[in-house]
């Protein structure tokens, strides 16, 4: 049995605990032994993105100390996973085992496809689903092929969704465009952020999306807020909720 340390991002811990529980359910469904260290905190990404490196460093140190001895670390967030894999060198360079920690930290869907080698998930989800491919997951973790790169199309998230019975994955006109959230960008550039989010929602509307999903609850929170304020008939669910509930 594979053992993992489960890292739950701040947004999920504070606002969407059901996503954390769904992640646990998905992992246990595939006989993964899951440990949730209670002293975990933020990975430091919000501080790092805002340029507050002195505040991000102790959080990176704590993550390293808590998770370095697990065989794998799994996180239901592309951006938090990318923070560990692509940006912890700025805070922890030279730490023993850092490279190993980076290599064994996975976003949920890539853990299912790359480590557990899951090709099909038994279940049913009879809805038209639109996938939002968040920037960090797409361009830093390479969970799918982005439009500016040559090569054959692939999507680790789509491959899992497509295995569900009854599901229809809609085709978007701009499948890898940013939602406009960007953490503190949504605060400092509120108007631009909202317009970008509205553009993404319009694309989903035109494509007939009934359920909008993705791997980053922060992006989905931004889109869900715009959807609810406009009273649009689109439901927002994290990918873990779909896989667990199907």
Q: Domain 3-115 - what CATH class? A: alpha beta
Top pLDDT among 149 and 222 is at: 222
Residue 67 near residue 7 (C-beta atoms within 8 A):
yes
Residue 191 scores a pLDDT above 80: yes
Domain residues of the chain, as ranges? Answer: 3-115, 128-245
Residue 172 near residue 223 (C-beta atoms within 8 A):
no
SS3 144: strand
User: Stretch 35-51: mean pLDDT, rounded?
Assistant: 95
Burial (0-12, 13-18, 19+ Cβ within 10 Å), 39: exposed
Same topology between domain 3-115 and domain 128-245: yes
Counting residues of the chain whose pLDDT is more than 90, the rounded percentage is 90
SS3 107: strand
Taking the C-alpha atoms of residue 173 and residue 189, their distance in angstroms, rounded to an integer, is 25
Distance in angstroms between the alpha carbons of the first and the last residue of the chain: 24
User: Stretch 212-239: mean pLDDT, rounded?
Assistant: 97
pLDDT in tens, 107-154: 999 999 999 999 999 999 999 999 999 999 999 999 999 988 888 989
Question: For the whole model, what pTM was predicted?
Answer: 0.95
Q: What is the CATH number of domain 128-245?
A: 3.40.50
């Amino acid at each position: 049995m594979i053992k993992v340390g489960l890292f739950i991002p701040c947004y999920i811990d504070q606002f969407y605990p059901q996503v954390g529980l769904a992640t646990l359910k998905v992992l246990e469904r595939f006989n993964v032994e899951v440990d949730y260290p209670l002293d975990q905190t933020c990975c430091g990404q919000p501080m790092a993105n805002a340029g507050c490196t002195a505040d991000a460093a102790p959080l990176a140190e704590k993550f390293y100390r808590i998770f370095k001895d697990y065989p794998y670390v799994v996180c239901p967030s592309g951006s938090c996973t990318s923070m560990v894999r692509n940006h912890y060198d700025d805070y922890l360079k030279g730490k023993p085992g850092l490279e190993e920690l980076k290599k064994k930290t996975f976003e949920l869907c890539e853990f299912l496809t790359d480590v557990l080698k899951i090709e099909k998930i038994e279940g049913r989800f009879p809805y038209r689903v639109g996938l939002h491919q968040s920037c960090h997951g797409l361009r830093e973790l390479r969970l799918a092929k982005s439009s500016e790169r040559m090569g054959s199309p692939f999507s680790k998230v789509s491959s899992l969704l497509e295995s569900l019975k009854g599901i229809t994955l809609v085709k978007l006109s701009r499948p890898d465009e940013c939602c406009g959230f960007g953490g503190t960008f949504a605060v400092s550039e509120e108007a631009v952020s909202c317009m970008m989010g509205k553009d993404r929602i319009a694309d989903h509307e035109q494509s007939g999306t009934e359920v909008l999903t993705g791997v980053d609850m922060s992006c989905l929170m931004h889109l869900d807020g715009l959807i609810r304020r406009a009273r649009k008939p689109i439901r927002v669910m994290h990918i873990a909720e779909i896989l667990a509930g199907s």
